[in-house]
Amino acid sequence: MPAKPEASTKPEASANYDRLDQLVRRFEKLFNILIPVVAIAVSLLIGSIIILAQGASPLEAYAALLSGAFGNAYNLSNSLVMATPLILTGLGIALAARCGVINLGGEGQIIMGGIFATFVGTLPAMQGLPAPLYIPVCLLAAFLGGALWAIVPGYFFARHGVNFMITTMLLNDIASGIITALVQGPMKEPDKFAPQSAQVALSARLPILLPKTRLHAGFLIALILAVLAYVILFKTSFGHDLRTLGENPTAARHSGIHVFTMQMVIVIVAGGLAGMAGSAEILGSQYRLRSGFLSNYGYEALAVAMLGQKHPFGVVIAGILFGALKAGRGTMSRAADLPTSFSMVLSGVIIFFVAISPVLMKLPRYLAIREMNRKNRQDSTLSNAA
Rounded to 10 degrees, what is the CA torsion of 16, 19, 25, 30?
-110
**Position 93 contacts other proteins (CB under 8 A):** no
Gyration radius of the chain over CA positions:
24
Restricted to residues 255-284, the positions that interact with other proteins (CB under 8 A) are 281
**Position 151 contacts other proteins (CB under 8 A):** no
CA–CA separation, 86 vs 122, rounded Å? 25
**Position 178 contacts other proteins (CB under 8 A):** yes
**Position 210 contacts other proteins (CB under 8 A):** no
In the complex, minimum distance from the CB of residue 154 to other proteins, in angstroms, rounded to a whole number: 12
**Position 88 contacts other proteins (CB under 8 A):** no
CA–CA separation, 251 vs 188, rounded Å? 52
Phi and psi based region of residue 331 (left: phi greater than 0; alpha: psi -120 to 50; beta: remaining)? alpha
**Position 162 contacts other proteins (CB under 8 A):** yes
DSSP annotation of 89 reads H
Restricted to residues 278-337, the positions that interact with other proteins (CB under 8 A) are 281, 285-288, 290-296, 299, 302-303, 306, 326-327, 330-331, 333-334, 337
Range in contact with other proteins (rule: CB under 8 A) among 22-30, 193-201, 236-244, 365-373: 193-201
Distant-in-sequence, close-in-space partners of 4: CB < 8 Å, separation ≥ 6? 17
**Position 339 contacts other proteins (CB under 8 A):** yes
**Position 59 contacts other proteins (CB under 8 A):** no
For other proteins, the closer of residues 129 and 170 by Cβ is: 170
CA–CA separation, 56 vs 290, rounded Å? 35
The DSSP line for 198-221 is: PPPPGGGSPPBSSTTS--BHHHHH
In the complex, minimum distance from the CB of residue 381 to other proteins, in angstroms, rounded to a whole number: 32
**Position 150 contacts other proteins (CB under 8 A):** no
- Kindly give the residue spans of alpha helices, DSSP state H, lying in 71-216: 73-98, 106-121, 131-160, 164-184
CA–CA separation, 316 vs 304, rounded Å? 9
**Position 219 contacts other proteins (CB under 8 A):** no
**Position 2 contacts other proteins (CB under 8 A):** no
For other proteins, the closer of residues 16 and 119 by Cβ is: 119
Per CB under 8 A, the list member of 2, 136, 207, 358 interacting with other proteins is: 358
